[in-house]
Amino acid sequence: MRRILSRTAYGLGVALFVAVGVEILFRIFAPDPFYYWPYRFQYVSPNAFENRDEGVWTYRRNAAIREVSVYGLPSLVSTRPSLSVGFDCRMRSNNLGLLQDNDVAPGTGVTLVVGDSFTSGQGGCPWFHKLQARRPQDRLLNAGLLGTGFDQWWRLLEYLRKQGVVVERVLLISISNDLKRKTWNWLGADLECINHNVCTIEGPYSWQAVRDDETQNELFARTRERYAKRFSKYNAVSMWFFSLLNHSLLLKFTHIAVENVANVVKPGKVGVLPQAENALQKFKSLGVPVKVLMVTQRNETGMLGNEVDATAAVAALKAHGLPHEGCRLSHGDFLAIDGHPNADGYDKLMACADRALSTE
């Protein structure tokens, strides 16, 4: 019995030594690959979003909008979350409900810059005005909307045409996830919460309203309440494990490896949606110059970056004959615990967009 206990203790000691060593190596050579969406609490100005058509929404027209993201991470030593502001951005929408200062009158010819939250500037805050300032000879229109993909971008383009916008050329700013995103509208429950403070949903993608003058302390107090509600079904042991997972790169990469094996065994998460394939063909047949700028995602950076989706996205662009080029961001170009670029990352993205618009 003593020998068994001795061997067990020895084995555990060796396993612990190896685990600590691998953890140290990961911290030296591999950036944090995790997205912390489950612990993100989003806030936005009331009436910020408006549905326009099936699969089409914009921001409220000619509005001043504040968008805040607060992160509440579980703690190893406390039941109270560790709170931090991910970003706090202020922006303006034009007469079309798109994020830029300049209005666009019907009949105006534009270069349409379409994309998701990377184009709208979520996280590091809107950057489009810098691109317009760099290209005063062009009339640019910022059609960047968070969480959208190729099929939704085509619908948005058609909607803008109905508003009198004359699309002369198109730049699609994409990440690989955009080819896997379905078209969507804001749910009534989301808008009721944002606009009227009637909140019945509390999940990683839910939003609540923020006052223009609301302080950080007030936001933290509200976030603690939302955190308690969101994780109410988990016990203390589960939350301690979540905290351990957030602090350990070894556990994070193990988790990713298990997910990758599961994707091989049961495919479905990697690739391109049929709706995106159809949209690519429509953009190809648009009759005006179209180019795609493929931007690095946070989990695609570093030595152990997972570029399976990026490879599939580029293959789809090639298959449809759409001109494209890459915009490589590094891990340091992203916010610390968010999937969006920081201000420096958006400056790089702006330079990539400028270069893409300068070459046909």
Domain ranges of the chain: 40-224+265-358
Can you tell me the mean pLDDT for 201-226?
A: 96
237: buried, middle or exposed (CB in 10 Å: 19+, 13-18, 0-12)? exposed
Task: Categorize the per-residue pLDDT at 248 as very low, low, confident or very high, splitting at 50, 70 and 90.
Answer: confident
Indicate the pTM of the whole model: 0.89
**Parallel, antiparallel, or unpaired for β 166-174 and 109-115?**
parallel
More confident call, 92 vs 251: 92
Residue 269 has pLDDT above 60, yes or no: no
For residue 264, pLDDT over 60 is answered with: no
Residues 6+ apart with CB under 8 A from 316: 179, 272, 276, 277, 280
Question: What average pLDDT does range 312-317 have in this prediction?
Answer: 95
Q: Which fold has domain 40-224+265-358?
A: Rossmann fold (3.40.50)
Whole-number average pLDDT of the chain: 90
Task: Determine how β-strand 207-209 pairs with β-strand 324-327.
Answer: unpaired
**Three-class SS state of 210:** coil
Q: What is the distance between the alpha carbons of residues 176 and 149, in angstroms, rounded to a whole number?
A: 10
pLDDT exceeds 60 at position 262: no
Does residue 198 have a pLDDT over 90?
A: yes
* Residue (of 178, 103, 142) closest to 353 by Cα position: 142
Instruction: Please give the average per-residue pLDDT across 215-222, as a whole number.
Output: 98
